[in-house]
Every structure is written in C-alpha cells, then in structure tokens.
C-alpha cells in the first residue's frame, strides 16, 4: 500500500469527499446533501477537525469531527471501498482523537451506527443501545378497524400536563408542537372515563415516507404501553403506512415488543444505534 497522508480538509476537496461517501455508504444512506452540509459546517466551525486521507494524490477517505465542551464527536467517517481494511480509517480516527485531545476533549463518540466492528477495534465501547423497532403493517394482523384513540385538542393539554407531571409533560409538549410541522404529524389521547390512559405522538420519517414514527408515547412501560401501541398500529394502517417505528433505550420493553411482532430496524434512516464512546487518555 502506498503512503497514506492525513491532512486537513480544504474547500476544494468537497467534491471528492462526496464521491467517497457515495461509494462507501449503503445505497439508501447516500445523501450528498447531508454529507455536503456536514463538511461545510465542519469547515466553518471546526476546521482543524476536518481531515482527509490522501493516497497517491487521490482522496481515499475523510472524517468530519467536532467538539462541544470536553466531548468530541465523529460526525461522519468514510473510506473509499477500494481502500477498505488497509488501515486508512484507523489513521483518520487516530489523528482526529489526537486533535480533539489537544483541544481539551476527554472523550469521543461516533455519531453514526454503521460501523460497530470498526469502532470496537479502535477502542470504543458500547454503553447503551437505542433500539429502533418497526412493525410491518401489510403483514400484521390488525385486530380491529377502529382505534380507541382521539386526536388531542388544545383543551386536553391541561389535563395531560397534570397527569404527566412537569418534566414528562415537557417531553410530550416538545413532540406535540413539533408534530404540527412534520408531514403525518398527529397526537392522540387514549382516555377512560375522563382519565388519561395513554398519549402518543406520531410523525412521518423525514427520509422514508412509508414509515410513521412514534415520537412520543406514555406510558413508556408496563402493560398500558402495549394497548396504546396496538391502537396506533390501527391508525397507521388506516393512513396507509407500511411501517410503524419507535425508538427506546429500555431493553426490557424492546425485548417484549420483539416478542409481539416488532422487529429491530435495519434501515439506513432508522437503525438500532449502538451508542459508543472512547475515553481519551
């Protein structure tokens, strides 16, 4: 293998960087807009943390980093497939870590879920799993035609806030107000004799118009959650979506849902995330 030179990214490298990303990422994860913006933002805010690997004058890989307080982050990392498994990725991340440490960073976390094996090899450990679960609707047995959910009206908000308590209510309200701006955004309440039994907010996934994402649900565990989710499955099915998705860091809930027909998602736009980090020593 020829010499690999790691150097800071220049603006004129952007076209080559997009080419590398297009080759390296899974087909559905190829988003020049995302890569392009990420590199541009990186060059504007953290020029010292944008690096490319050059082999024979050709850009073979790149890394986009940033730092906030003492936490460094790998926003993007890719190596052109013809250079895979030759140590280029390791060289890029090692130099980024060195620079992050020099800037006062104490740890580094990768921002993407695609390369667990690589990150483990270079010293990262998984500290939490954010499960992304999906239920495929066309093949699901939908128990009935109508759900017991009703759209949330502004008049319901006081009652809901009282039920949830202040901290949880803020989580809900964030999802609730965001849902007004997102396609497919809707918020529902499940009540029994004027008592709040469940709340669920949904919105269409930004990248996949077949996927309706649950952006908030209450209760977040216990039997009540299954009743609530069955109801939203009915609603999503009526709306014509192919998948309903939810994210949770609660392993017990994830396992229970997988026993009930939900599956771990492996879509580039909705993928179980292994949250990893490495302490810089």
What minimum distance in Å lies between the beta carbon of 48 and ligand COA?
19
Interface of this chain with ligand COA, residues 118 to 147, rule: CB under 6 A: 118, 121
Question: Looking at 25, 172, 216, 217, which residue binds ligand COA (CB under 6 A)?
Answer: 25
185 HSE (CA, 13 A, CB side): 11
CA distances from 203 to 94, 106, 159, 181, 244 (A): 39, 36, 23, 9, 10
229 contributes a contact to ligand COA by CB under 6 A: no
Q: Rounded to 5 degrees, what angle do the CA atoms 198, 201, 204 make? A: 150
Query: Which string of DSSP letters, residue by residue, matches 16-42?
Result: HHHHHHHHHS-GGG--HHHHHHHHHHH
From its phi and psi, is residue 267 left (phi > 0), alpha (psi between -120 and 50) or beta?
beta
Q: From CA 180, how far away is CA 203, in angstroms rounded?
A: 9
Contact window for ligand COA (CB under 6 A) among 110-118, 137-145, 201-209, 262-270: 110-118
Interface of this chain with ligand COA, residues 37 to 76, rule: CB under 6 A: 76
31 contributes a contact to ligand COA by CB under 6 A: no
Judged by beta carbon, residue 198 or residue 268, the one nearer ligand COA is 268
Q: Which of 133, 159, 151, 117 is nearest to 239 (CA)?
A: 151
Q: What is the CA radius of gyration of the chain?
A: 22
Judged by beta carbon, residue 90 or residue 191, the one nearer ligand COA is 90
117 contributes a contact to ligand COA by CB under 6 A: yes
Question: Looking at 14, 24, 236, 257, which residue binds ligand COA (CB under 6 A)?
Answer: 24
What minimum distance in Å lies between the beta carbon of 63 and ligand COA?
8
User: How many CB atoms within 10 Å of residue 118?
Assistant: 17
Judged by beta carbon, residue 115 or residue 273, the one nearer ligand COA is 115
115 contributes a contact to ligand COA by CB under 6 A: yes
What minimum distance in Å lies between the beta carbon of 280 and ligand COA?
18
Q: Are 225 and 219 in contact (CB under 8 A)?
A: yes
Contact window for ligand COA (CB under 6 A) among 2-10, 94-102, 116-124, 155-163: 116-124
Size of the site for ligand COA (CB under 6 A): 19
Q: Which of 169, 241, 168, 254 is nearest to 202 (CA)?
A: 241
What minimum distance in Å lies between the beta carbon of 85 and ligand COA?
4
Judged by beta carbon, residue 63 or residue 190, the one nearer ligand COA is 63
Q: From CA 268, how far away is CA 139, in angstroms rounded?
A: 22
Interface of this chain with ligand COA, residues 70 to 99, rule: CB under 6 A: 76-79, 84-90
Positions that interact with ligand COA (CB under 6 A): 24-25, 76-79, 84-90, 112, 114-115, 117-118, 121
């Amino acid at each position: 293998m020829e010499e690999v030179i790691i150097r800071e990214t220049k603006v004129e490298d952007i076209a080559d960087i997009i080419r590398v990303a297009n080759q390296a990422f899974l087909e559905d994860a190829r988003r020049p807009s995302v890569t392009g913006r990420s590199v541009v933002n990186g060059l504007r805010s953290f020029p010292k943390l944008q690096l490319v690997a050059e082999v024979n004058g050709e850009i073979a890989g790149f890394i986009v980093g940033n730092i906030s307080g003492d936490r460094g982050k790998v926003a993007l990392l890719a190596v052109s497939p013809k250079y895979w498994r030759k140590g280029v990725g390791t060289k890029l991340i090692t130099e980024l870590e060195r620079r992050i440490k020099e800037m006062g960073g104490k740890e580094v976390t990768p921002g993407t879920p695609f390369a667990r094996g690589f990150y483990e090899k270079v010293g990262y450990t998984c500290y939490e799993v954010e499960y992304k679960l999906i239920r495929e609707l066309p093949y699901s047995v939908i128990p009935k035609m109508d759900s017991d959910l009703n759209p949330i009206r502004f008049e319901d908000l006081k009652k809901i806030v009282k039920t949830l308590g202040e901290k949880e209510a803020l989580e809900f309200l964030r999802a609730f107000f965001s849902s007004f701006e997102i396609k497919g955004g809707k918020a529902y309440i499940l009540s029994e004799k004027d008592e709040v039994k469940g709340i669920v907010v949904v919105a269409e996934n930004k990248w996949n118009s077949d996927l309706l994402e649950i952006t908030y649900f209450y209760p977040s565990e216990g039997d009540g959650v299954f009743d609530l989710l069955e109801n939203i499955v009915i609603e999503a099915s009526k709306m014509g979506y192919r998948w309903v998705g939810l994210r949770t860091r609660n392993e017990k809930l994830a396992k229970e849902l997988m026993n009930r027909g939900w599956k771990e998602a492996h879509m580039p736009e909705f993928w179980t995330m292994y949250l990893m980090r490495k302490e810089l020593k």
